[in-house]
A = this chain, B = another copy of it.
Amino acid sequence: MLHYRGRAKRVLESLGIQDYDRIRVRRGRLTYEGILIPRPEILDDDHIILKLDNGYNVGISLNGAEIELVKRSSIIKEERAELGRFDPRKPKVPLIVTGGTITSRVEYSTGAVKSYERPEELLDKVPELADIAYVEYVPLFAEFSENLTKDHWTRIAEEVYKMLKGGAEGVIIAHGTDTMHYTAAALSFMLRNLDKPVILVGSQRSIDRPSSDAVLNLIASAKMAAEGEIADVMIVMHGSPSDEFAYAIRGTRARKMHTSRRDAFQPVNEPPLALVSRNSIKVINPRYRRRVKGESHVFLDAKMDDKVALLYVWPGMPAELLSDVADRFNGFVLAGTGLGHTPKWIIPKIKEIVGMGKPVVIASQCLFGRVDLKVYETGRRLLEAGAIPADDMLPEVALVKLMYVLGHTKDMDEVSKMMRANLSFEIGSRISLRDFPPCWGVCNGL
């Protein structure tokens, strides 16, 4: 089989080259060697795509190029993936697919990103998965993650639960990256007594782009799910701008910190759980739930009240904003400034809302560090008004947790107690100096 056309097809055919053959291309002073990848949509008839040994796909113009067949592919890619997926001697790892860039490709004519027409394309493109796990493809829905709600979170949690009870050694969830960390937090609270890895994976660039992060992310996810010792909800995504390793980041500590970089996800207030390459898993953070062999004893506790608002305060924010929306929500997370402060005129309004039986949790918009309402007058007045400090929880995690807590109780004392208890490693007792990354000078050799 050869999925090229026009000039590229003529040149490749004349050399007897087929899809997935290993070839060498010399062009000017550069030489590329890699696997010929069938191009999903052809921009022109002149370029081919090679998958290099470092995992990158590169597009190469055939104009003026010398091509040489290095090694014939012994088996076509789809067959290999197909065989692997159905090799039950490997650890069983379902891939639950929910949508996002990782299930999309670039429409080369417009530059826009569109969903696959045939969902299994994802597995076909990463035949290496079959070497690691017995991967079952489980399409659940196809939605970009900005459009998800707590009902989607519940559906994912139910599916994960079903898979784990059905004997899966771990579960991978392919997911859009925009709100992946919110979903990760939700699953962390909903899946109690977790004893197998649950991995969220996505990609910042679609899999057909030369710079895609999808392949490494999927391979690292499969390794963590099939072989890893850590039985938490994790996000597994690139750990650096290169294509060398991924981080496994705890679901309650992850945040998307960059719009487009492949290493956009970052742990906040703790180190990554592990560093995962194609060949190894290096555990960095010793604080995790351990995998238990055999039958899973996970249970599902997916009750959530999504009538919770997350509001970031700003200088001059009018107190009336809170009155405007007070009726619409059963609880509020305010991302305050610094140690967790709000403008002073907001505090009586918070007291009023707390008086209505609606909890107000104070996180910090700094994101890193810990809320402390005992240092300054503003903080102490917030405590007196009944606000609940979020400790070192991310505002987004505090939001999801408050949804979860309000799904279980509306009793204000209970809410406060649960919010301040560590349910899923979302609260830590100590933040190391190493856990704050903005060491611009250190990283840049100053």
Chain A residues at the B interface, C-beta cutoff of 8 Å: 111-113, 144-150, 153, 176-179, 182-183, 239-241, 245, 247, 256-261, 263-264, 266-267, 271-272, 275, 284, 306, 309-318, 320-321, 324-325, 328, 335-345, 364, 366-372, 374-378, 380, 395-396, 399, 433-434, 436-444, 446
Contact = CB atoms under 8 A, between A and B. Distances in A.
A267 B318 CA distance: 28
Contacts of A309: 317, 321
8 contacts: A148-B315, A178-B338, A182-B314, A241-B433, A259-B370, A271-B440, A284-B446, A325-B325
Contact of A340 (B259, B284, B321, B440): B259
Contacts of A320: 328
A339 B113 CA distance: 13
Given A146-B342, A321-B325, 19 more contacts: A111-B374, A112-B380, A145-B337, A150-B316, A179-B315, A179-B337, A240-B442, A245-B441, A257-B368, A258-B368, A260-B369, A261-B369, A261-B436, A309-B321, A312-B335, A324-B325, A437-B437, A437-B438, A437-B439
Contacts of A444: 271, 434
Nearest to A146: B341
A114 to B, nearest CB: 8
B146 A343 contact: yes
A145 B342 CA distance: 10
B437 A440 contact: yes
Given A257-B367, A364-B259, A372-B259, A144 B377 contact: yes
A315 B112 contact: no
